[in-house]
Each structure stands twice: as structure tokens, then as C-alpha cells.
Structure 1
Amino acid sequence: MTGLSSFSPERILVCQLRQIGDVLLTTPSIRLLHERYPAAAIDVFTEKKCVPVLENNPHVRRVWALDKKALPNFLAELRYYARIAAENYDLVVDFQQLPRCRFVTLMSRARVRLSYPPPWYNRLLYTHWATPVHGYSGSYRASILAPLGIVWNGQGPEMFLTEKEKGWARDYLAACGLVPGTYVTLDPTHRRSTRLWPARHYGAMIDQVHAARPALRFFILYGPGEEAMVREVLNSCTATQACILPDTVIGLRQMAAVQSMARLHVGNCSGPRHFAVAVGCPTLTVLGATSGGWRFPSEIHQDIFLDLPCRPCNQNRCASNDHACLENLPPERVSQRLLAMLGP
């Protein structure tokens, strides 16, 4: 691998296909690339569902949105990748090494193709690589940029909301009887059981917080197919008057706009916690299987968990089948921490 001290790319492609939260956690690296090469055009290759987190980002020129439904066969995919390669990128940064990312990297013929250390059978695809430094997920990604002389220095994820989007949020909140700063956003859902604090615990936590702060409201967030989970939470609490449940799923950017005006965000370890960080909202995250590597290093962003020998296991299935790290984390601990973070 050759040194890159004098390398000055004009066109950069960042490859991060999924998931939504992971794409958001790539925005610190995008900012760092822009600061290192301010004259370079930066494009992003990602899945269509992830595009909203990159909208209005001043550091991104173009998003190549992969719509798998619009590419019915392998030949159609190759044509699409060829269109991307025709941009003649000087630098490709592949944060994932997924098959589609590798195809784009290969076809780009970029002078510099940077990633984390690839397996031996993929090494010819990349010209440079760096071993990631463990820590916060955003800094972990950014450490791959070390060969370019780039060092992470506390940059967090970013979303750039428009005034129109903020105005929508204020109007929506007003229709719900809320004003900014009078509520917390709550994300009680997750598709993985090892990251899902029980609904009955969330219900008890809501009741306990409501008893101490009767004026505070919980704005409940949920995605497509998750309404049953939030209904279970509502059925588990008595202070339903403290809960605001949107009639329909709101979009990702609308969710972020609502979070930007909240006192705090509380929930499981999933995408909405990163959205909250990106818009400056303090967070309290209930951890099960996951580690603290997803927490942005700041006092206003906290994790709460049960300290067991088996966690963090970072697994999607509980080896003991009892989900003890979640089941045995009492609602009282979470409500007390939440109230402490809210302050007087």
C-alpha cells in the first residue's frame, strides 16, 4: 500500500448500504472527508430506505439510492453499478464490504479503494485498508479513514432539518396538545428479542414517571408493523393520559423533527436513539444484548443495563432463553434514571 499524504481526490464515493441507523452513523465520516478535501464532491451509495437521513446534508453532492425492486436481475444491477462507476471516482470508501459494495468498488477503478482489512480473497479489490479502532460506533467507522490522515475528534451523527420540517413538527405537536420541551419521545419497539425491554416494564416505567411528573408526556414512536408492540405498552400502563400515540407511522425526518423538540429520548438500542443524538436530544437507552459502543460519548447520552456475566453478548438469540438482562432490569431503575436526567 502506498502513502496518501499527497493524495487529493476530486470525486469521492462512500459505500454504506444499510441499516438506517448505520448510515446515520456514517455522517461523521462524511463530514471528516469534506473537511479533509473541501473541494471534492462526495457521493453516497446506500439503499433507498436510508436516503432520508442524508437529505439536505451539505457535505453530500449525490445519493445513489439502491432500489432492489427496480433492478429485477443481475444484469440490471450491473448496468446500475456501471452508471456509478462512470462518475470516475478517485476515492471509494467501503464501510461494509457487502457484495453490492464490492461490485461498485471493483467497477469504479478508483485510484484509492479504502476499507477495513478484507479477507484474503477480496484483497485485490482494495488498495488501502485500516484496522478499525474499537469504541463509539461513529468513531469506529471514522478510524477506517486513518490512511488519509483523518482522525475522529468527537464528531457526532448529523441530520439537517429544514425550517419547513420543524414547522410541521410544531404544528403536529400542537394538534396533539403538546409544545416543545413538555414531552419525551419513547421507542419501546425492536425486532430482536435480545434488545426488547418488556412492554410491561415500559408500562410500569410510564406510570412511575407520571406519578412524579404528571405534566410530562410520552410521545410514542413506532415503525411499520410495530403498532401491536406499542399497544401492548399502552395496555400495560394505567397512565394512558400521559401517552401520545400517533394515528399513523410518521416519516423518519418527521420523527427527527419531533425528537429535536423533546426533553429527552428513551427506548431500546435501535435507530431512533441515533436520530435523537443527531438532532441534539439527550438519550437514555435500555440495553440488553448490545454493548455501550453505540452510545455517543457525552454525559447527556446514557445507557442503563443489568450487569450480568453473559452480557453484552451481541447476539440475536438468548443462549439461556430467559432474556435475564432485560426481564430482570426493574422499571424503577429506569424511571429513576430518567427523572434524574430530566432534572428539577
Structure 2
Amino acid sequence: MTAPLPLSFAKILVCQLRQIGDVLLATPSVELLRRRYPEAEIHFFTEKKCAPMLANNPHLAKVFALDKKELSSLRKELAYYRSVAREGYDLVVDFQQLPRIRWVVAFSRARVRLSYDAPWYTRWLYTHSVPMRGGYAAMSKASVLAPLGIEWNGERPRIYLSKVERAWAAHFFQQHGIGDGHTVVTIDPTHRRATRRWPVGHWAGLIDLAAEARPDLRFVVLVGPGEEEVAAELKARVRHGGNLVVPARLLSLRELAAVIDAAALHAGNCSAPRHIAVAVDTPSLTVLGSTSDAWTFPAAEHEAVKACLDCQPCNENVCPKGTDECLTGLSPTTVAERLLERLP
């Protein structure tokens, strides 16, 4: 039997190490915790690569950005986890149950250590746990907070951009010849998993079809570290090169978010930029392969398009049929029609 929950907490730690999109999907829970405990000091434990998603968040007093490169030994790791735990939390919320988080939970000695149902061998770490609800991913995370009397009511992920960051995006557009007469669409043609990556040739076909229908369109390509070749291939395949903008350098996560914020629409695969679009109130169109609809924010301005095969969603990283037909069979014409319908 779990212990009764205290009525208030002075210091709260929220734990979600990765990935970038998942950290962003935890921000509604941070907002809900702030609303439930307005006087509490809320901290967040994540990985360094994900920390930019939490910058300027008014609900957070502190972000621990774990840099795995600096933790070169078990001794250094344990010392770091102890330093986080020594903050004196009385509530720790674990959304991921990774080993690094478990160390912090164990060292924290918090009165309440809350998570989703854990396997038997780590169940002792948590004072309270609940089954995680299915559905939209941010809602599923927030369902862990049910023992605190907290419910998700449509709160969306949030990125808090500064005036300087928005001004940078306007300057970026100017540098790349994008003016008031253009309509900007950001494009994310990448994903590390083949079953979630619409073919580059299909993205090129989509851009050409849309550009022929709307010459005012400018497509800004967004890629991450190690994905530069995808942008180069897309540029080589597109016939209407004047409608395509490939940044001269990799954008930081905050810069990428500012560009999406300034766009009329974001289109891409099921990866972090689609969640960034939700977080900055930019409509989105996502091509789904093996992924389920659980990652799609439930609102009309955020649409997922898929081939609607009987095998979807399989949620596999390798196509069980060996064909990737849920992606290769989804034509650029179909997606272009949906994209054009969503544009102002």
C-alpha cells in the first residue's frame, strides 16, 4: 500500500533525459505541476543536447544538463547523481526510468518518488506509481501525475522564444531572400529510422508540385548534425531550386525553433521538429510510416498523413515486410494536396 501524499511540496524534480521531442513533450507536465504547486521550486534533469528546449521556461528554476562525455568513470557518475539529489527534493517525478535517473531517484530520499508502473526489480525505488495512459504522448506523461490530483486538459508543449531569437529568424529570412511576398514552409526530411523516413525523392516531388501551384512558397530545409547529406540530396533532386532554402550552416535547436515559429507551416517526418511546431503554435503536417498517431497533438491545425495500410502502425524500426511500403507507397501528389490545403 502506498503512503498518503503530502498536500504540498517545496522542491520538485522532473526527470526526462532524452530524446529532444520527449523532453519537449514533458513541458505540459511542468506547467501542470506549477499550477498545482505555485510556490514550489521546480527543477528538470535532462541531457545536455535536450536542455535548449527548456531555456527561458518560466516554470523552471533550474535545469540539470547531463553531459555524458564528462562522466568518464563510475565514480564521476555517482558523484554527479549525488549532487543532483542533494538539492533536497521532496517530490521526484520520473518519466523514463533510465539507469541514470534511477540513481538520482535512489539518492534523493524524496518523500514522494513518482513514476509509471515499474518492473519488479526497481519497484522499490518509487513510493507511488500508476499505469501510464495511452494516447497523445504529452497526455500519457501527464497521466503519471494522477496521484497528485493532476489531469491533462489539452496543455501543449511549449518553447519560450525571446525577442532576440525571433529577430534573428527575421534576419535569417532576409539573408536568404525571403520577403513579405513569400509563404514559408519548413521541411524536415530526416529521421534516423528508415521506417519513419519518407524518401528524399518524395520530398523533392512534394516541393516541386507545391512550388508549381504556389510560386510564392519558400521551403526551408531543417537538418541536424550528421544529416547534411540529406539536405544536399534534396537540393540536387528538386527542379524548382529557387523555392528551396538550404541554410549555409547547421542551425542550433533554438534557431531551428525560431525559424519554425516564423513559418506558415511545418512539414516533416515524425521527429522533434513536429513537436517544436506544436510548441510555437505553427500548424504542421507530418508523414507517418511505422509511427502511431500517439505523437500527433489532437488539434485540427496539426495533421498526420499516412498510407493507411493494414499493417500501420507497426512501431518497428525495421519493416517486417522488408518493403517500407507505408512510406514508398505514399505519393508526393497526395501529400502535396494536403499541404496546399493547409496553407494561407
Indicate the TM-score class for this superposition, using the shorter chain for normalisation. over 0.9
| Residues 44 and 302 of structure 1: CA distance in aligned 2, closer, same or farther (over 3 Å) | same
Q: Which residue number corresponds to residue 284 of structure 1?
A: 285
One-letter amino acid of the counterpart of residue 204, structure 1: G
Give the CA RMSD over aligned residues: 0.9
Q: Kindly report which structure 2 residues correspond to 1:65-214, keeping only aligned pairs within 5 A, or say none.
A: 65-179=65-179, 182-214=183-215
Please state how far the C-alpha of 1:235 moved relative to its aligned partner. Answer: 2.0
SS state at 2:256 partner: helix
Tell me, in whole angstroms, the C-alpha distance in 1 between the residues paired with 2:171 and 2:230.
27
Tell me, in whole angstroms, the C-alpha distance in 2 between the residues paired with 1:169 and 1:324.
37
Whether contact under 8 Å (1:135, 1:293) holds in the other structure is yes
CA offsets per residue over residues 54-97 of structure 1, 9 Å max, x none?
00000001011111111110111111111111111000000000
Q: Which residue number corresponds to residue 340 of structure 1?
A: 341
SS state at 1:12 partner: strand
Q: Which residue number corresponds to residue 22 of structure 1?
A: 22
Tell me, in whole angstroms, the C-alpha distance in 2 between the residues paired with 1:314 and 1:69.
31
Tell me, in whole angstroms, the C-alpha distance in 1 between the residues paired with 2:264 and 2:65.
33
One-letter amino acid of the counterpart of residue 70, structure 2: A
Whether contact under 8 Å (1:207, 1:239) holds in the other structure is yes
Identity over the aligned pairs, expressed in percent?
A: 52
Q: Which residue number corresponds to residue 247 of structure 1?
A: 248
TM-score (norm 2): 0.98
One-letter amino acid of the counterpart of residue 336, structure 2: S
Which range moves more in the overlay, 172-181 or 30-39? 172-181
Q: Kindly report which structure 2 residues correspond to 1:36-47, keeping only aligned pairs within 5 A, or say none.
A: 36-47=36-47
Please state how far the C-alpha of 1:335 moved relative to its aligned partner. Answer: 0.2
Q: Which residue number corresponds to residue 260 of structure 1?
A: 261
Please state how far the C-alpha of 1:219 moved relative to its aligned partner. Answer: 0.6
Tell me, in whole angstroms, the C-alpha distance in 2 between the residues paired with 1:220 and 1:87.
42
Tell me, in whole angstroms, the C-alpha distance in 2 between the residues paired with 1:286 and 1:179.
28
One-letter amino acid of the counterpart of residue 296, structure 1: F
Tell me, in whole angstroms, the C-alpha distance in 1 between the residues paired with 2:168 and 2:124.
49
Tell me, in whole angstroms, the C-alpha distance in 2 between the residues paired with 1:270 and 1:165.
22
Tell me, in whole angstroms, the C-alpha distance in 2 between the residues paired with 1:145 and 1:299.
27
1:2 to 2:8 alignment: no
Tell me, in whole angstroms, the C-alpha distance in 1 between the residues paired with 2:87 and 2:179.
46
Q: Which residue number corresponds to residue 296 of structure 2?
A: 295
Whether contact under 8 Å (1:188, 1:267) holds in the other structure is yes
One-letter amino acid of the counterpart of residue 16, structure 1: Q
Q: Which residue number corresponds to residue 312 of structure 1?
A: 313
One-letter amino acid of the counterpart of residue 170, structure 1: A
How many residue pairs align between the two structures?
342
Tell me, in whole angstroms, the C-alpha distance in 1 between the residues paired with 2:179 and 2:161.
18
One-letter amino acid of the counterpart of residue 256, structure 1: A
One-letter amino acid of the counterpart of residue 278, structure 2: V
SS state at 1:146 partner: helix
Q: Which residue number corresponds to residue 64 of structure 2?
A: 64
Whether contact under 8 Å (1:195, 1:290) holds in the other structure is yes
Q: Which residue number corresponds to residue 227 of structure 1?
A: 228
SS state at 1:319 partner: coil
Whether contact under 8 Å (1:13, 1:89) holds in the other structure is yes
Please state how far the C-alpha of 1:2 moved relative to its aligned partner. Answer: 2.5
Q: Which residue number corresponds to residue 217 of structure 1?
A: 218
Q: Which residue number corresponds to residue 12 of structure 2?
A: 12
SS state at 1:114 partner: strand
Q: Which residue number corresponds to residue 50 of structure 2?
A: 50
TM-score (norm 1): 0.98
Tell me, in whole angstroms, the C-alpha distance in 2 between the residues paired with 1:81 and 1:187.
35
Tell me, in whole angstroms, the C-alpha distance in 2 between the residues paired with 1:124 and 1:220.
47
Which range moves more in the overlay, 127-136 or 229-238? 229-238
Please state how far the C-alpha of 1:276 moved relative to its aligned partner. Answer: 0.8
Tell me, in whole angstroms, the C-alpha distance in 2 between the residues paired with 1:231 and 1:102.
41
> What residue ranges of structure 1 are gaps of 5+ in the alignment?
none
Whether contact under 8 Å (1:170, 1:179) holds in the other structure is no
One-letter amino acid of the counterpart of residue 30, structure 2: I
Tell me, in whole angstroms, the C-alpha distance in 2 between the residues paired with 1:56 and 1:179.
29
Tell me, in whole angstroms, the C-alpha distance in 1 between the residues paired with 2:107 and 2:79.
11
Please state how far the C-alpha of 1:147 moved relative to its aligned partner. Answer: 0.2
Tell me, in whole angstroms, the C-alpha distance in 1 between the residues paired with 2:234 and 2:82.
48
Whether contact under 8 Å (1:16, 1:45) holds in the other structure is yes
Whether contact under 8 Å (1:183, 1:219) holds in the other structure is yes
Tell me, in whole angstroms, the C-alpha distance in 1 between the residues paired with 2:171 and 2:208.
27
> What residue ranges of structure 2 are gaps of 5+ in the alignment?
none
Tell me, in whole angstroms, the C-alpha distance in 2 between the residues paired with 1:93 and 1:72.
26
Tell me, in whole angstroms, the C-alpha distance in 2 between the residues paired with 1:246 and 1:216.
16
Tell me, in whole angstroms, the C-alpha distance in 2 between the residues paired with 1:197 and 1:85.
42
